[in-house]
Chain A
Amino acid sequence: MSMFKKALFGLLALAVAPIAIASGIDVAAPAEKVTNWAAISMFVVFVGLTLYITYWAAQRTKSAKDFYAAGGGITGFQNGLAIAGDYMSAASFLGITGMVYLKGYDGLIFAIGFLVGWPIILFLMSERLRNLGKYTFADVAAYRFKQTPIRVLAAFGGVAVVILYLIAQMVGAGKLIELLFGLDFNYAVVMVGILIIAYVSFGGMLATTWVQIIKAVLLLSGATFIAVAVMYQMGFSFETLFKTAVENRGGDMNILYSGGFVSDPINAISLGIALMFGTAGLPHILMRFFTVPDAKEARKSVFYATGFIGYFYILAFIIGFGAVALIVGAEYFDGAKLVGGNNMAAIHLSSVVGGDWFLGFISAVAFATILAVVSGLTLAGASALSHDIYANVVNPNATEAQETKVAKIATLVIGGLAILFGIGFKDQNIAFVVALAFTIAASANFPVLIMSMFWSKMTTRGAVIGGWLGLISAVVMVVLGPVVWTQILGMGEAIVPYKFPALFTVVIAFVGIWFFSITDKSARAKEDLEGFEAQFIRSQTGIGAEGASEH
């Protein structure tokens, strides 16, 4: 393990050095940026702790099952926190509080859309996933079908979602560190990339899960404190909170109502489908169902996760309105916008209600959030490449050692891509980038996965054609839509007038799966149909399912 110790020492040095430099040279920044030793020391403590966890986990990560699924030994409660942690990303915390800050009630509508997919996942998917899968959601999607085409499809869908989600996280990370430490954006992104490569490649799913759990507890505690502090200042009255907020917006009552976010019903329903079905197609979330010992724990983990996430969104809503009501000093503004952009509403509010030390704590937590979510994403992306592509397509006879080695190389590749894309997508609204990831997850991963478990007549051909149609149409319609075509590419008016084309692309995928399955008369189709019964029984009873490894 001496190599690990060297790497660990190097990473600590890497994490600390730029802060020391930044605190000395950034004269143009406001004083709090440079001298906030609270933020710096808490951040260093967190990095040190997570690297220690990684060291601990590395000694327990020997088999492929340990690497991908933490040996299957995580409890339902722990997994619930980890799932909630994956979901309470920088985009959720900063993006949704920022959206409430900017648009008021519309931010709550957006948050609800993120939540309502969870009960559906519990009722229709979680136990079945646990009973059928091993390491990745493609294990389930490809269960009774011809492996190569479905694995390739699932890996493409998975990696596309991971990369988009990574962009959002990395941009959030860069902005945050830039704001809080006066560090260069690019340097911050590179540092995040290197840290998460260390977590994932050395500590695998065990380290990733524990980093996620610790961060979830910190984030829930921090957000609770901000929300309670806001309500305390408002005499625990929502009337006073909303009144103060409206007064700060020059008497504009519109922040209390839906401000046209849902004015176009097609756009609104399409968004709802993207968020609901997209959640059920996120590879880094689906992967967590394989870290628990059985279906019962899988089911419990969704219950806890739904509770934590719902609670968190209620807090985020109070924090957003609290930011409107309480962030008033000129030092927080840069023109009409908040310093660092409106996504920094929660960060500034923490300084207003809790002073510098609390600002430091929340900054460190927000940063921890990004590290934890990015690790989970990187692991999911690497698993798609190593387990689905390498071990099931390229080299089906690969030994476990070979597969684990490829997984570590894939971790480097995904981590490297995260850095490049983080720098490339610096100026996009991070909440919308996540919404794009959701459209692809809803249109490619989800239809194939759900139909493979529920529809006895699906065939390999139907799944492959339908899945690719969903994936390609999602990418094409997102690229031709207002966010990419107009805002990013600057090509003028969007060809597809919907920010979230999921309504169309999900239908395309399902119709594709249905049509190309029922017209499939091949020998393979017969085999696919015959396999359903055994798959169904295993999904219902767990007989034959993967157990937890012995430790």
Chain B
Amino acid sequence: MDQAKIEKIKNLPQYQQLVKERTGLAWKLSIAMLVVYYGYILLLAFDPAFFTTIVSGSYVSIGFPVGVGIIIFAFLLTGYYVRKANSDFDELTAQIKKEVE
């Protein structure tokens, strides 16, 4: 990629929008995942008594819905990102490619 092409792409509004939106979304979702996971680990470490709470019947402790919930949350986050990327980011990328190629 030569310098002229670099300058051209850098100055495209679609490129700037793509970088800004994708970077913002990626970090927001990453932080959401990190907060949920490390929140869970810290809760396990500092308040193990919380996990002895029984939420249903006499044997289903709160840890089970929480644990399975984290797995489902992780999956939903990836689904959200992919949907957003397939609709918005790919469109912007296609426009950028059209402009420079």
Q: Using a CB–CB distance below 8 Å, which chain A residues touch chain B?
A: 105, 108-109, 112-113, 115-116, 118-120, 122-124, 127, 238-239, 242-243, 246, 253, 256-258, 261-265, 268-269, 272, 276, 296, 299-300, 302-303, 306-307, 310, 313-314, 317, 533-534, 537-538, 540-544
Known contacts A108-B63, A543-B100; is A123 also within 8 Å of B58 by CB? no
Which of B9, B30, B70 has a CB less than 8 Å from the CB of A123? B30
Which of B19, B30, B61, B72 has a CB less than 8 Å from the CB of A105? B61
B26 touches A314 (CB 8 A): no
Known contacts A303-B82, A537-B10; is A239 also within 8 Å of B44 by CB? no
Name 16 A/B residue pairs within 8 A (Cβ), A-sorted. A105-B61, A108-B63, A108-B64, A118-B78, A119-B30, A238-B59, A246-B59, A261-B44, A265-B41, A265-B42, A268-B41, A276-B37, A310-B74, A537-B10, A537-B15, A540-B19
Which of B51, B72, B90 has a CB less than 8 Å from the CB of A258? B51
| Chain B residue with Cβ nearest A107 | B67
A533 touches B42 (CB 8 A): no
A239 touches B74 (CB 8 A): no
| Chain A residue with Cβ nearest B33 | A119
Q: Name the A residues within 8 Å of B75 (CB-CB).
A: 306-307, 310
B1 touches A534 (CB 8 A): yes
Instruction: Tell me, rounded to whole Å, the shortest Cβ–Cβ distance linking A307 to chain B.
Output: 5
Known contacts A120-B30, A534-B1, A537-B1; is A115 also within 8 Å of B51 by CB? no
Given contacts A119-B29, A243-B58, A534-B6, 19 further A-B contacts (CB under 8 A): A105-B67, A109-B41, A115-B70, A116-B37, A120-B30, A120-B34, A122-B78, A124-B30, A242-B59, A256-B52, A256-B61, A258-B44, A272-B38, A272-B41, A302-B82, A303-B82, A533-B6, A534-B1, A540-B18
B60 touches A239 (CB 8 A): yes
Size category of the binding interface on chain B: 35 or more
| Chain A residue with Cβ nearest B43 | A262
A257 touches B71 (CB 8 A): no
B22 touches A314 (CB 8 A): no
Q: Which A-B residue pairs are the 4 nearest by beta carbons?
A: A265-B45, A242-B59, A239-B57, A262-B44
Which of A262, A296, A540 has a CB less than 8 Å from the CB of B90? A296
A116 touches B70 (CB 8 A): yes
Q: CA of A61 to CA of B30 in the docked complex: distance in angstroms? A: 38
Instruction: Tell me, rounded to whole Å, the shortest Cβ–Cβ distance linking A105 to chain B.
Output: 5
Known contacts A242-B59, A256-B63, A537-B9; is A112 also within 8 Å of B48 by CB? no
Q: CA of A31 to CA of B45 in the docked complex: distance in angstroms? A: 46
Q: CA of A268 to CA of B37 in the docked complex: distance in angstroms? A: 11
B52 touches A257 (CB 8 A): yes
- Chain B, residues 1-22, CB within 8 Å of chain A (1/0): the string is 1000010011000010011001
A258 touches B63 (CB 8 A): yes
A257 touches B48 (CB 8 A): yes
A306 touches B67 (CB 8 A): no
Known contacts A124-B30, A537-B9; is A115 also within 8 Å of B44 by CB? no
| Chain B residue with Cβ nearest A307 | B75
A262 touches B33 (CB 8 A): no
| Chain B residue with Cβ nearest A310 | B71
A108 touches B60 (CB 8 A): no
Instruction: Tell me, rounded to whole Å, the shortest Cβ–Cβ distance linking B48 to chain A.
Output: 6
B51 touches A105 (CB 8 A): yes
Q: CA of A233 to CA of B60 in the docked complex: distance in angstroms? A: 18
Q: CA of A310 to CA of B74 in the docked complex: distance in angstroms? A: 8
A119 touches B77 (CB 8 A): yes
Q: Name the B residues within 8 Å of A540 (CB-CB).
A: 15, 18-19, 22
Q: Name the B residues within 8 Å of A243 (CB-CB).
A: 57-59
Q: CA of A144 to CA of B44 in the docked complex: distance in angstroms? A: 42
Q: CA of A544 to CA of B64 in the docked complex: distance in angstroms? A: 47
| Chain A residue with Cβ nearest B77 | A119
A543 touches B51 (CB 8 A): no
A239 touches B15 (CB 8 A): no
| Chain B residue with Cβ nearest A120 | B30
B74 touches A118 (CB 8 A): yes
Q: CA of A370 to CA of B94 in the docked complex: distance in angstroms? A: 41
Instruction: Tell me, rounded to whole Å, the shortest Cβ–Cβ distance linking B2 to chain A.
Output: 9
Known contacts A119-B30, A543-B9; is A299 also within 8 Å of B67 by CB? no
Q: CA of A119 to CA of B71 in the docked complex: distance in angstroms? A: 11
Q: Name the B residues within 8 Å of A299 (CB-CB).
A: 81-82, 85-86
Instruction: Tell me, rounded to whole Å, the shortest Cβ–Cβ distance linking B34 to chain A.
Output: 8
Instruction: Tell me, rounded to whole Å, the shortest Cβ–Cβ distance linking B33 to chain A.
Output: 5
Q: CA of A268 to CA of B48 in the docked complex: distance in angstroms? A: 13
Known contacts A242-B60, A258-B44, A268-B45; is A310 also within 8 Å of B72 by CB? yes
Q: CA of A256 to CA of B66 in the docked complex: distance in angstroms? A: 13
Known contacts A122-B78, A268-B45; is A537 also within 8 Å of B6 by CB? yes
